[in-house]
């Protein structure tokens, strides 16, 4: 069975069904959405089960020509970099769909769920695309459902927020389209064949100058989507105006699109260019870590706090990828998953608190733990994970990243360390400000916000996943290692890194056994 | 001379004459749809004939008319636009009482467009362009009781005449340089006589022709007439101008530049490239400020002409191929959008204003979906036909070493997102207060057919991009055969 293709087509089909459903059929809409997302989740579990963790290249590939004359094809598959992102997407979207079904918007319920399904199809397509044009198609297409969700069901400033979100992202991505075309045509000069397959482009020597320019075209698009400082202008408005379920999806899953692109395309296809842009990008990531943390510290609302903390966390992930170190890259992939889970959980807590108290303003909240002890426990757990307390899942990821960065550029690790400290400051501010202290609640002491069974369905699976990763990070990292090694190797060679740091030498990828970076002296 | 080769011309001329004759003879009420029926039958017959003629080039009238894959495929675009226009005008209340002239004139214009894209000679080309222009001058002014419509016709007449004058002048100079009016002859002369390409007279003629065709294709800075005329003309006519005229003008561009004067491409590549850049930028920025959907679509058609001109500016067959594909996509998107505007216009007063669209998607979800598809595809969102077309056009620019064209195109597309998506937002948003009671009429089936067919084509052209591109590549290659 073409499971990976089904992964995209099943939510797409669910979206079409929801699209034609009359607005009053809200019961049927819930059913279709839940079946659609659970079916997608099941397919993603099958894909994970069939996954061969020792294989570095794309596997379970479905290939079908679309426009052969232009070298464009439907080419989807998974590898170590994408496999866990696929699972993260299906899990978070299943939980998001459940949350959306619990409080379906009054107007046009099926459309709301249909757009969520559409966004899921686009994101799964993005994480599995093996063809640059297909990658671009999904990259752009995901904008439509997210923008419509913000426009139709967002807060008071939804129009402006949605428009800024779309225009920012489009600005980067259309330049990426030009870069994609230029890349394929430059590669054609070398190989004599027009192809947009990412695997065909790896190994094409573009030359240092060309490689740098082409990479810069991609990087702008990635930087906006991530968002990397100073391209984060759309984030605060979009995150605070979107319906909270959509904010969960944006922060947990969509924010991974940019960093994924960097690791999937940026590093392996343009190894020569990475060397030139390594320091500038790393500096932007470091500024993002510090700047995002400071903004999060003083953020007036819970949503903005979590949103700005995302800027900081994604700065870590970018840093982990861009220093082209094996350990840091594995940490970056792990941290993508961790951040997805933690951000989803943090926004879910925000959702419960704002629903119960009617506000998300830090100033108007306090002492909720008294009336909502169960929520307080869950929140504390999420807080600990978000500030990467040793023993939490995020600690493992950040440790890998910082360790790898320290090996390459010690000064970067020192600056990045600030982010870890700030994280404790702003996360504890959020927890203490809302849960402890005097009751400042608008209505009561938090009883209305207490976690009930319906909230637990969403929060408990996320917490279980955090525990799983904290205890067995190897179960994830083991599957990603071969692919990240392969992705980094050309750039490491181009940078002239010592041979013992390189996992696989590009020329004899199969012959060199990969060694665990954790065992490195 | 091959009499059968020009069959499409005979058919179209016959139905045009028939429709015009029927317009002046009194008809019983039961036969009042007769002109439209004859016109549609003629168009469908023409489409069928072009299918059987698909193949190597045949000539008629000693080379005045070239029936080759290029002309045939372009005839398809034009005939589809004409057919859709007749459907959109079906039962148009504004055109009541003048329906028969309407049909005859649309058919005459379509014949002119067909003549343009099938021409093998400067004279035929000129006659074709004039036939379509004169028909459209009258069509624009057809709602004589409405001041805007008259104004629109007059404006179009004046600017169109300037364009015509420049075109004749340019053709005359081109004839003076090469000594022939045959397109094939011009190409051969430029190829065989060295140094001719840098002749100042040739450059002057090229500049004049570019300006003249720029008027017809509404390229910046010759676009000033477009918004006023588009807004003022009856909406089915506007749809026809936006699609058919654009196709014919682009066909003329391809025949004259990529085809006939490709040897002198150094003279015009930069010029047309600059025209494309100005058109993309001004068209998209102009569209941002509009609160009337018809006027917005007019500015959008200017912007789209800019993207299409990329395909001419690169001067390669790859560019022509991309242009022809995008033309099909553009026609589908534009007709779908206009169909929805017409639907709304018949329901409320000032239905072409953006506020009239408020909440329309909730009242008629299918219309909302069609409009959303058209707007999203016009903005170049994947995976729809508009994206595939833009991708091919930008690709041809990068391939021809004119990456700057692709970059300007990309930036212009970003700007376009703002106004295209504004329509989508307004449509799915809440209804405006004063229009909370939305009048619902029975949907005219003819208009609905155009809307749905356009939407299907937007998706179908993207999925079946390869077969379509094969046809476009054949057409583009036919262009350069001397």
What pLDDT was estimated at residue B170? Answer: 93
Cβ(A131)–Cβ(A70) below 8 Å:
no
What pLDDT was estimated at residue A507? Answer: 52
Nearest to B414 among A107, A141, A174 (CB): A174
Nearest to A152 among B406, B411, B428 (CB): B428
pLDDT tens by residue, A336-368: 999 999 999 999 998 888 888 877 788 788 778
Phi (first) and psi of residue B313, to 5 degrees: -60, -35
Do B429 and A151 count as a contact with CB atoms less than 8 A apart? yes
What pLDDT was estimated at residue B440? Answer: 62
User: Number of Cβ pairs closer than 8 Å across A and B?
Assistant: 85
What pLDDT was estimated at residue B436? Answer: 45
Contacts of B73 (CB under 8 A, 6+ apart): B324, B471, B472, B474, B475
Q: Work out the mean pLDDT of chain A and round it to a whole number.
A: 85
What pLDDT was estimated at residue B375? Answer: 93
In this prediction, residue A444 has a pLDDT band, given cuts at 50, 70 and 90, of low
Do A178 and B466 count as a contact with CB atoms less than 8 A apart? no
In sequence order, the β-bridge partners of residue B292 are B353
Q: Is the pLDDT of residue B130 over 50?
A: yes
Q: Looking at the complex, report in whole angstroms how far the Cα of residue B387 sits from the nearest Cα belonging to chain A.
A: 9
Q: Classify burial at A209, counting beta carbons within 10 Å of its beta carbon; exposed 0-12, middle 13-18, buried 19 or more.
A: exposed
In this prediction, residue B209 has a pLDDT band, given cuts at 50, 70 and 90, of very high
Higher pLDDT, A243 or B144: A243
Cβ(A457)–Cβ(A412) below 8 Å:
no
pLDDT tens by residue, A389-405: 888 888 888 889 999 99
What's the mean pLDDT in A279-304? 91
What's the mean pLDDT in B349-378? 85
What pLDDT was estimated at residue A1? Answer: 78
What's the mean pLDDT in A455-482? 88
How, if at all, do strands A72-78 and B58-60 pair? unpaired
Nearest to B399 among A147, A175, A185 (CB): A185
In this prediction, residue B301 has a pLDDT band, given cuts at 50, 70 and 90, of very high
Cβ(A317)–Cβ(A329) below 8 Å:
no
What pLDDT was estimated at residue B433? Answer: 59
Inter-CA distances, A214 with A262, A405, B42, B395, Å: 13, 25, 52, 15
In this prediction, residue A441 has a pLDDT band, given cuts at 50, 70 and 90, of low
Residue in A115, A177, A220 to test binding to B, most B beta-carbons within 10 Å: A177
Do A166 and B417 count as a contact with CB atoms less than 8 A apart? yes
- When mean pLDDT is compared across A78-92, B88-102, B415-429, the lowest value belongs to B88-102
Residue in A174, A182, A216 to test binding to B, most B beta-carbons within 10 Å: A174
How far apart, in whole angstroms, are the C-alpha atoms of residue A504 and residue A490? 9
Do B376 and A144 count as a contact with CB atoms less than 8 A apart? yes
What pLDDT was estimated at residue A451? Answer: 80
Contacts of A199 (CB under 8 A, 6+ apart): A57, A58, A130
Q: Is the pLDDT of residue B212 over 60?
A: yes
Nearest to A70 among B383, B387, B395 (CB): B395
Q: A484-495 burial, b for 16+ CB within 10 Å, e for fewer?
A: bbbbbbbbbbbb
Q: Is the pLDDT of residue B60 over 70?
A: yes
pLDDT tens by residue, B272-298: 999 999 999 999 998 988 888 989 999
Nearest to A69 among B369, B417, B469 (CB): B469
Do B466 and A166 count as a contact with CB atoms less than 8 A apart? no
Q: Classify burial at A392, counting beta carbons within 10 Å of its beta carbon; exposed 0-12, middle 13-18, buried 19 or more.
A: buried
Residues of B in Cβ contact (< 8 Å) with A162: 425
In this prediction, residue B81 has a pLDDT band, given cuts at 50, 70 and 90, of very high
**Token pair for residue A154?**
């967002």
Residues of B in Cβ contact (< 8 Å) with A175: 407, 410-411
Query: How many CB atoms are located within 10 Å of the residue A181 CB?
Result: 27
**Token pair for residue B246?**
């654009």
Q: Looking at chain A, which residue has its C-alpha nearest residue B428?
A: A152
Do B417 and A185 count as a contact with CB atoms less than 8 A apart? no
Q: Is the pLDDT of residue A41 over 90?
A: yes
- When mean pLDDT is compared across A68-82, A270-284, B431-445, the lowest value belongs to B431-445
What pLDDT was estimated at residue B174? Answer: 92
What pLDDT was estimated at residue B437? Answer: 47
Residues of B in Cβ contact (< 8 Å) with A138: 382
Do A174 and B391 count as a contact with CB atoms less than 8 A apart? no
Query: How many CB atoms are located within 10 Å of the residue A459 CB?
Result: 23
What's the mean pLDDT in B67-78? 92
Q: Looking at chain A, which residue has its C-alpha nearest residue B377?
A: A141
- When mean pLDDT is compared across A144-148, B11-15, B204-208, B347-351, the lowest value belongs to B347-351
What's the mean pLDDT in B350-371? 83
Do A170 and B382 count as a contact with CB atoms less than 8 A apart? no
How far apart, in whole angstroms, are the C-alpha atoms of residue A37 and residue A458? 14
Q: Is the pLDDT of residue A438 over 80?
A: no
Do B382 and A140 count as a contact with CB atoms less than 8 A apart? yes
Q: Which residues of A touch B (CB under 8 A)?
A: 19, 65-70, 72, 107-108, 133, 136-138, 140-141, 143-144, 147-148, 151-152, 159, 162-163, 166-167, 170-171, 174-175, 177-178, 181-182, 185
SS (H, E, C) A429-447: HHHHHHHCCCCCCCCCCCH
Cβ(B300)–Cβ(B286) below 8 Å:
no
What pLDDT was estimated at residue B165? Answer: 92
Contacts of A143 (CB under 8 A, 6+ apart): A165, A166, A169, A170, B381
Nearest to A181 among B395, B428, B470 (CB): B395
- When mean pLDDT is compared across A85-94, A247-256, B299-308, B402-411, the lowest value belongs to B402-411
- If you write DSSP's letter for every residue of B390-410 in order, what string do you get? HHHHHHHHHHTT-HHHHHHHH
Closest CA to A432 of A391, A383, A398: A383
Q: Looking at chain B, which residue has its C-alpha nearest residue A74?
A: B463
């Amino acid at each position: 069975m073409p499971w990976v293709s089904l992964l995209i087509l099943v939510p797409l089909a669910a979206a079409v069904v929801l699209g034609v459903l009359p607005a009053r059929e809200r019961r049927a809409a819930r059913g279709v959405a839940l079946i659609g997302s659970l079916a997608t989740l099941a397919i993603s579990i099958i894909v994970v089960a069939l996954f061969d963790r020792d294989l570095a290249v794309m596997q379970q590939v479905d290939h079908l020509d679309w426009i052969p004359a232009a070298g464009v094809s439907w080419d989807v598959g998974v590898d170590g970099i994408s496999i866990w992102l696929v699972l993260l997407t299906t899990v978070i979207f299943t939980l998001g769909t459940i949350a959306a079904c619990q409080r379906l918007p009054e107007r046009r319920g099926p459309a709301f769920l249909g757009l969520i399904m559409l966004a899921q199809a686009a994101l799964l397509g993005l994480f599995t695309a093996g063809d640059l044009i297909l990658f671009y198609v999904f990259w752009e297409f995901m904008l439509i459902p997210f923008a419509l969700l913000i426009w139709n069901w967002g807060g008071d400033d939804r129009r402006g927020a949605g428009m800024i979100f779309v225009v920012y992202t489009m600005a980067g991505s259309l330049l990426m389209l030009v870069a994609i075309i230029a890349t394929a045509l430059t590669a054609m000069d070398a190989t004599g064949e027009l192809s947009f397959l990412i695997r065909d482009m790896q190994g094409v020597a573009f030359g240092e100058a060309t490689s740098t320019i082409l990479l810069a075209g991609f990087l702008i698009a990635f930087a906006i989507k991530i968002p990397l400082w100073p391209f984060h202008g759309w984030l605060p408005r979009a995150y605070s105006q979107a319906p909270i379920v959509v904010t969960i999806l944006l922060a947990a899953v969509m924010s991974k699109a940019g960093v994924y692109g960097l690791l999937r395309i940026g590093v392996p296809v343009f190894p020569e260019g990475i060397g030139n842009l390594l320091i500038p990008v790393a500096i932007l990531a470091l500024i993002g870590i510090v700047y995002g943390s400071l903004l999060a510290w003083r953020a007036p609302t819970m949503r903005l706090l979590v949103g700005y903390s995302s800027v900081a966390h994604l700065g870590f992930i970018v840093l982990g990828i861009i220093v082209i170190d094996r350990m840091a890259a594995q940490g970056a992939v792990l941290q993508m998953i961790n951040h997805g889970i933690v951000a989803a959980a943090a926004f879910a807590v925000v959702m419960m608190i704002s629903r119960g108290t009617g506000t998300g303003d830090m100033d108007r909240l306090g002492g909720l733990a008294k009336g909502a002890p169960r929520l307080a426990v869950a929140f504390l757990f999420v807080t600990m994970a978000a500030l990467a307390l040793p023993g939490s899942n995020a600690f493992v990821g950040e440790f890998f990243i910082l360790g790898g960065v320290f090996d390459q550029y010690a000064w970067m690790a020192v600056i990045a360390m600030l982010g870890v400290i700030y994280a404790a400051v702003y996360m504890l501010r959020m927890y203490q400000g809302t849960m402890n202290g005097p009751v400042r609640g608008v209505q009561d002491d938090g009883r209305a916000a207490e976690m009930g069974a319906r909230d637990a369905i969403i929060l408990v699976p996320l917490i279980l996943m955090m525990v799983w990763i904290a205890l067995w990070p190897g179960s994830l990292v083991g599957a990603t290692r071969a692919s990240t090694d392969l992705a980094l190797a050309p750039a490491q060679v181009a940078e002239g890194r010592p041979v013992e740091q390189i996992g696989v030498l590009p020329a004899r990828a199969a012959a060199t056994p990969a060694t665990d970076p954790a065992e490195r002296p | 001379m091959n009499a059968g080769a020009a069959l499409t011309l005979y058919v179209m001329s016959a139905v045009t004459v028939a429709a015009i004759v029927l317009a002046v003879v009194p008809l019983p009420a039961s036969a009042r749809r007769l002109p439209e029926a004859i016109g549609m039958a003629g168009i469908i017959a023409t489409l069928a004939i072009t299918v059987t003629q698909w193949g190597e080039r045949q000539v008629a009238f000693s080379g005045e008319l070239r029936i080759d894959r290029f002309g045939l495929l372009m005839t398809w675009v034009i005939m589809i636009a004409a057919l859709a226009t007749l459907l959109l005008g079906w039962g148009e209340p504004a055109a009541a009482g003048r329906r028969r002239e309407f049909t005859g004139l649309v058919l005459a214009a379509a014949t002119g467009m067909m003549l343009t894209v099938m021409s093998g000679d400067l004279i035929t080309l000129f006659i074709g362009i004039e036939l379509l222009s004169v028909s459209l001058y009258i069509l624009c002014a057809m709602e004589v009781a409405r001041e805007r419509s008259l104004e629109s016709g007059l404006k179009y007449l004046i600017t169109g005449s300037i364009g015509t004058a420049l075109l004749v002048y340019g053709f005359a100079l081109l004839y003076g340089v090469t000594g022939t009016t045959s397109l094939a002859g011009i190409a051969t002369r430029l190829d065989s006589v060295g140094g001719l390409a840098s002749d100042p007279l040739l450059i002057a003629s090229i500049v004049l022709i570019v300006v003249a065709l720029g008027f017809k294709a509404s390229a910046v800075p010759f676009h000033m007439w477009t918004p006023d005329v588009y807004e003022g003309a009856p909406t089915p006519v506007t749809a026809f101008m936006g699609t058919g005229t654009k196709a014919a003008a682009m066909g003329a561009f391809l025949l004259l530049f990529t085809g006939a004067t490709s040897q002198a491409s150094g003279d015009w590549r930069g010029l047309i490239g600059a025209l494309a850049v100005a058109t993309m930028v001004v068209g998209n920025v102009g569209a941002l400020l509009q609160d009337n959907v018809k006027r917005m679509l007019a500015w959008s058609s200017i912007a789209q002409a800019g993207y299409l001109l990329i395909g001419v500016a690169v001067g390669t067959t790859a560019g022509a191929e991309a242009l022809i594909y995008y033309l099909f996509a553009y026609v589908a998107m534009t007709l779908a959008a206009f169909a929805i505007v017409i639907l709304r216009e018949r329901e409320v007063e000032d239905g072409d204003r953006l506020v009239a669209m408020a909440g329309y998607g909730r009242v008629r979800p299918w219309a909302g979906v069609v409009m959303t598809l058209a707007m999203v595809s016009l903005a170049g969102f994947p995976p729809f036909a508009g994206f595939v077309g833009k991708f091919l056009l930008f690709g041809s620019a990068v391939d021809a070493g004119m990456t700057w064209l692709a970059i300007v195109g990309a930036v212009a597309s970003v700007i376009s997102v703002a106004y295209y998506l504004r329509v989508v937002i307004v449509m799915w948003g809440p209804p405006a207060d004063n229009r909370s009671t939305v009048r619902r009429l029975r949907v005219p089936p003819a208009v609905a057919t155009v809307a749905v067919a356009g939407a299907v084509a937007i998706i179908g052209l993207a999925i079946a991009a390869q077969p379509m591109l094969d046809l476009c590549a054949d057409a583009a290659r036919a262009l350069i055969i001397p």
